[in-house]
Structure 1
Amino acid sequence: MTSPLSRLSHVALRTPDVERMRSYYTDVIGLSSYDDADGTVYLASGGLGPALELKPAAEAGVDHVAFDLTESREEELLTRLAHQHIDVATKTDAEPGILRVHDIVDVEGNKIQLAILDSTREAAELSQVGIAPQKIGHVATRTVSAENVVGFYESALDFRWSDWMGDFFAFMRCNADHHTVNFVNASSPGQMHHFAFELKDASEVVAACDALAVRDIPMIWGPGRHGIGHNLFTYHSDPDGNVVELFTDLDRIVSEDLGYFEPRPWHQDRPQYPKRWTPGSGAANMWGYAGPEGFLS
């Protein structure tokens, strides 16, 4: 049985300068305008619902993370949460393109929305400017105990873990993608580490690097290929300092019954099953150079 949550819906960011962030995410990243409501800017990457929310606030940071909830399994999930004594606050017509949301918090107090999309609203257009990613793919969060948060996502939301790096960095999925969420034990728990947009192929990763370079936006790390997940990656910062990953070639499990990732020529194992990786440069980057000092702190 798969999770009743089908994908990462959106990430909501708090920002002291909504217009600066809107300009960056539309002109550079290439998200399309979706809606404006009560001072919040909603941006999309095509399809139903927003991919990013920009909420006015005194300080930058993440407000919440949202997942799309399959409507036919809504009651199933709410019953599961009730049995586990997890408080749920339900709102209707709370956000553009979303019929209702169920607000919960995880074991470390991070805000999560479970969203039922409005399928009657016209899908967002793909942007014709900027990098124009296919979708928002995953979000990584700094934790006190990745093990405890993994337990919550398994028991409450029916996620499955795809890989671990040692005992401090976990990757979890709710669909065929290798990971929709990551959790890393860090010195500043409760803060977002990064969120990621998926590009079509390697040529678009190269084009994105050029697009950032033309605008004098430096790379934090990359391009490279992660060992865990095996995706090509780059990381840079947005105007508020949030770390943004652009990626492609992420591992996929298309059959939970088989339980291994679709074969790829760069896999170390054949077949490649979920496993606990030994920390090291190969797990972080098959091309040999680790991330900058303190990147996972």
Structure 2
Amino acid sequence: MAWGVISDMGSVTIRTSDIETSVRDAVGILGLTEVGRDGRSVHLAAVGDRAELTYVAAEEDGLERLGLVAPTLDGLHEVRRRIEHEGLPVLSTTPSQPGIEDAFTFLGPEGFAFEVVVRPGTGPAQPVGFGPKRYGHFNFHPQDHRRMVAFLTEVLDFRVSDVIGTGGSIGYFLRCSTEHHGIALVGGRGTLHHHAWETQSFVDLAKLGDRLHAHGRELLWAPVRHGAGQNLAAYYLEHSGNVVELYTDMEHIYDDDRPPVEWPDGKVWWNEWSTQSGFLPEGFRDHGLAPVAKH
């Protein structure tokens, strides 16, 4: 169920200083499939041929853009009207990848670039290998997270699922469909922290750890049952310095008017299984990528 101008999460585009290592990890560890290359870009997907993650070869690592999906062309045009009304610059009116019906990219608050797309059809429902089912959400750390949540709710029609900390002092979880969150934002340094992929079961989280071990790597944090969203999750660090999450069992909200769940300043919202300070790895929130888009 979707109620506004955004109905789903689109894709993530990351600049990487070692594109072949980034692609190798996305294929061999996360389980994505390479679906195309053009110029300096490599496109990857969980299922089908619709890119959900794109790496762009660059001298420095950074976040290029975050994708959002409009349900119709009319919805896309309404988003653009609102963006222009807000005085935010439009960076491009050309889709960044093949298979997109129409798109435009704009520069949002704090220099985060967003591409809004309309895409035809849907891919197959299940993966064919060990990889995830779909790209699900991203988590980022705006410097002014209250301004960002106001933008996402008032301009892009996201709804608040959970409020973290008294009066949102820590952050917010936002949805554009029934899934508990498509965007999570926690006040921070102005970076993308992680992109997240839905898998089929808790067993897949263990298998992710096995694959990392086989590559001489390790999980960054897992297993965990988040309070906000109720999802089970595992995390690892990718080459670019960004975090990747694999999750399952996410809460869905079918009442569009459900009041936000309010979590106190304690830590149960990020881990129902332990509130001990040491259970969140030291430096976990220090990882991430700064946006690189410029007007």
TM range, smaller chain:
0.7 to 0.9
Which residue of structure 1 lines up, in the alignment, with residue 50 of structure 2?
49
SS at match of 1:211: helix
1:234 corresponds to 2:272: no
- Could you list the structure 1 runs, at least 4 aligned residues long, displaced by more than 6 angstroms after superposition: none
Q: Which has the higher contact order (CA 8 A, sep 6+)?
A: 2
Cα distance, 1:107 vs. partner? 1.9
Tell whether 2:18 aligns with 1:17.
yes
> Once superposed, what is the RMSD of the aligned Cα atoms?
2.1
The letter for the 2-side match of 1:82 is E
* Shift in alpha-carbon separation, 1:181–1:26, aligned structure 2, 3 A: same
The 1:67/1:48 distance shift into structure 2, 3 A limit, reads farther
**1:283 aligned onto 2:269:** yes
| Sequence identity percentage | 28
Which structure 2 segments of 5+ residues have no match? 287-295
Could you say what secondary structure the match of 1:229 adopts? coil
* Deviations, residues 85-106 of structure 1 (Å, cap 9, x unaligned): 3333442354222233211122
Aligned amino acid, residue 254 of structure 1: Y
In 2, Cα distance between equivalents of 1:221 and 1:84: 39
**One-letter amino acid of the structure 1 residue matched with residue 244 of structure 2:** V
* TM-score (norm. length: structure 1): 0.86
Amino acid at match of 1:156: V
Q: Extract unaligned runs of 5+ from structure 1.
A: 260-272
Distance 1:283 1:57, change over 3 A: same
The correspondence for 2:108, drawn from 82, 103, 106, is 106
Aligned positions of 1:142-161 closer than 5 A: 142-161=141-160
Q: How does 1:1-297 map onto structure 2 within 5 Å?
A: 2-47=3-48, 49-72=50-73, 73-119=75-121, 123=123, 128-129=128-129, 131-166=130-165, 167-186=169-188, 188-189=189-190, 191-257=191-257, 259=258, 274-288=260-274, 289=276, 290-297=279-286
2:292 is aligned to: none
Is the CA contact 2:92–2:106 (under 8 Å) kept in the aligned structure 1? no
Output the CA distance in 2 between the equivalents of 1:195 and 1:285.
Answer: 18
Give the total of aligned pairs: 278
Give a deviation string over 1:156-193, Cα, whole Å, max 9, x none: 1111111122112211111111111111112x22x211
1:281 and 1:93, CA in 2 relative to 1: closer, same or farther beyond 3 A? closer
Give the 3-state SS of the residue equivalent to 2:109 in structure 1: coil
Question: 8 Å contact 1:32–1:127 — kept in the other structure?
Answer: no
The structural deviation recorded for 1:127 is 5.8
Alpha-carbon spacing, 1:203–1:34, altered in 2? closer, same or farther (3 Å) = same
For 1:67 and 1:47, how far apart are their aligned partners in 2?
18
- CA-CA distance at 1:20 after TM superposition: 1.3
Q: Distance in 1 between matches of 2:43 and 2:99?
A: 10
Provide the rounded CA distance (Å) in 1 between the counterparts of 2:219 and 2:186. 21
Write the distance in 2 (CA, Å) between the matches of 1:169 and 1:21. 29
Contact (CA 8 Å) 2:127, 2:133: kept in 1 or not? no
Question: In the aligned structure 2, how far is the partner of 1:83 from the partner of 1:93?
Answer: 22
Moved more, 165-174 or 97-106: 97-106
